Amino acid sequence: PRPVPTGAGRHRPDTVCPAGGGAGPPPRPPAGGREQAASEAAEAAEAVEAGRPWRCGLEFDYANQESFYCRPLRLERGPAPPRMPVPDQARAVKVAYLPPMSGMASAETRLDPGSINVRVGEGRTAEVLRNLCFRIHGESPDVWNDLKERIDRLFGVELDEPLYVEERGEITMRYRERGIWLDLSSSGRGLQQTLLILAYLYSNPGAVLLLDEPDAHLEILRQREIYALVRELAEASGSQIVAASHSEVLLAEAAGTDTVIAFVGKPHRIDDGGSQVAKALSRIGFNQYLQAELVGWVLYLEGSTDLAILKAFARRLGHEGAARALERPFVQYVGDRLSSAELHFHGLREACPELRGIALLDKLPEKVGADDGLERQAWRKREIENYLCSRSALEGWAADSARREASGPLFEEAEAERRVEAMRASIAEVEEASAKSGRPSPWDDGAKARADLMAPLFEVYARRLGQANLMSKANFHRLAEFVPEDEIDPEVVAKLDAIARVAEVRS
């Protein structure tokens, strides 16, 4: 048979299976005597069949992009070591591979079983669907009737018997929907994919079936139905299903009753009911796993302005550890939802068990999780912008804007004084408006700094200058460089220390 690509595997160099498992150093591959570097993956399979346990292990040597060498595992080291015997039960295992539907051909030539298998192995499933149905109809009429009934229940269509047109050497097949007969190529991709899976299952009873993306082309409701049907048919026929899927629906169905292996990071079994791997596949992209592996820690903030403010404070204080950590962080913005941060973090930890994280939010719920690698911290004040609320910082920003925008050095000082006075008057106006409305002082720790002070303040300030307000919420972080160092709350330093500590653990 034609070898197939290995795709994935754990590299296990120079290992031996003393009790029937493991692998030793590879011999020279039998490829014309040509020596090559061996890249191996070895696993031992265990099974119980007819009440008799058996164990069989194989080693795999990479040959080229299209093939690999497969041999029984070595039992000991040496130039010609004995190898693990392959039990008769293992020899009898039939393996069948089925890739997803690739788009149905309008015409299909009748094929022999060998030609069908070759096309399936090459991913040309669209060229064999009618042939599979034709074989089932000819060899097992009862099985064909059962297949028709299941398709009718799932899609509400009636399959016609596949016919061989001898003059053309082709197989034709129709289906009827709402009283109208149509060629099978006119059916939806979901129907074609489902028919392909069922026909393949019926054609290969008692086999190990490798299904690649069986949920392809199926809407969510169909995915659940098809998975339940595949499990039922496999159990009835004594088959075993090995399916590759990214579907959260299939994952949720499989997690409770079947074995789920996550191929994120190092392949590993999932034994938590599927919750973490479900999050991993449905909410976390591969690029985030890559970032987690490369960076080693993750930072959770409410929004991008929080990161900008933290960076500004790190520069202002000369906090090298935090500045270095925040230069290129792996950051996720979760609003005020700690639960979102926890879900994301635990999903990443499926692939990166050593991952560390810190969530720095405006507030935390009364009950937070245990120490699981994710530090959970909250600001003592209402929000991070409260730590920018300083009269000196506001006046310093106003004076600096005058120096940057003045038409020349001759007018800088006068313009700076004018803007500082405008800022002081604006502060007084906002304070007065707050007092008249019965709201607490905008300088209080519990005040909403963005809404109660900064947003209205810069609107009033721009109006007094007769200019457009260019100080949006996204630019509030620019105030950090003007906060006097002795007015920066010690809590800011503590939070920067925590970020640097988490990042340093994984640096």
- The DSSP annotation for 28-42 comes to --SSTT------EEE
317: Cβ contacts below 8 Å, ≥ 6 apart: 485, 488, 492, 493, 496
196: Cβ contacts below 8 Å, ≥ 6 apart: 98, 101, 125, 129, 132
Q: What share of the chain is helix, strand, coil (3-state, %, to 5)?
A: 45, 15, 35
Residue type at 496 in one-letter notation: L
- Cβ burial, residue 25 (10 Å; 0-12/13-18/19+): middle
Q: How far is CA 175 from the centre of its chain?
A: 39
**Is residue 322 within 8 Å of residue 367, measured between CB atoms?**
no
Question: Which residue stretches of 204-327 are H helix?
Answer: 220-237, 248-257, 275-283, 286-295, 304-317, 320-327
pLDDT of residue 273: 47
**Is residue 467 within 8 Å of residue 401, measured between CB atoms?**
no
Place of tokens 């991008």: 304
Exposure string of 104-119, with b = 16+ CB inside 10 Å and e = fewer, is beeebebbeeeebbeb
Token couple for 258: 């079947």
pLDDT per residue rounded down to tens, the chain (507 residues): 333 333 333 333 333 444 433 333 344 444 443 334 334 445 688 887 767 888 888 888 889 888 889 889 988 888 888 989 988 888 888 887 777 666 777 788 999 989 988 988 888 888 899 999 999 999 999 999 999 999 998 889 999 999 999 999 999 999 999 889 999 988 888 888 889 889 988 988 888 888 888 887 777 778 888 888 888 888 888 888 898 887 777 877 776 678 877 776 667 676 554 455 555 555 676 678 778 888 899 999 999 989 999 999 999 999 999 999 998 899 999 988 888 898 889 888 877 888 999 999 988 876 666 667 899 999 998 889 888 888 888 888 888 888 777 666 767 788 888 888 988 998 898 888 888 887 778 788 878 878 888 888 888 888 888 888 878 877 888 888 888 888 899 999 999 999 999 998 554
Phi-psi region of 206 (alpha: psi -120 to 50; beta: other; left: phi over 0): left
Question: Helix count (H) and strand count (E) of the chain?
Answer: 16, 17
Which residues on neighbouring strands pair with residue 356, listed in sequence order?
A: 297
* DSSP H/E element including 377: strand 374-378
Exposure string of 395-424, with b = 16+ CB inside 10 Å and e = fewer, is bbbbbebbeeebeeeeebeebbebbbebbe
Domains along the chain with CATH numbers:
1-87 (no CATH), 97-258 (3.40.50), 286-375 (no CATH), 386-488 (no CATH)
Residue type at 145 in one-letter notation: N
Between vectors from CA 283 to CA 279 and to CA 285, what angle results, nearest 5°?
115
> What are the E-state strand segments in 17-90?
40-49, 52-64, 67-72
- Euclidean distance between CA atoms 311 and 326, whole angstroms: 6
* DSSP H/E element including 495: helix 490-505
pLDDT of residue 136: 94
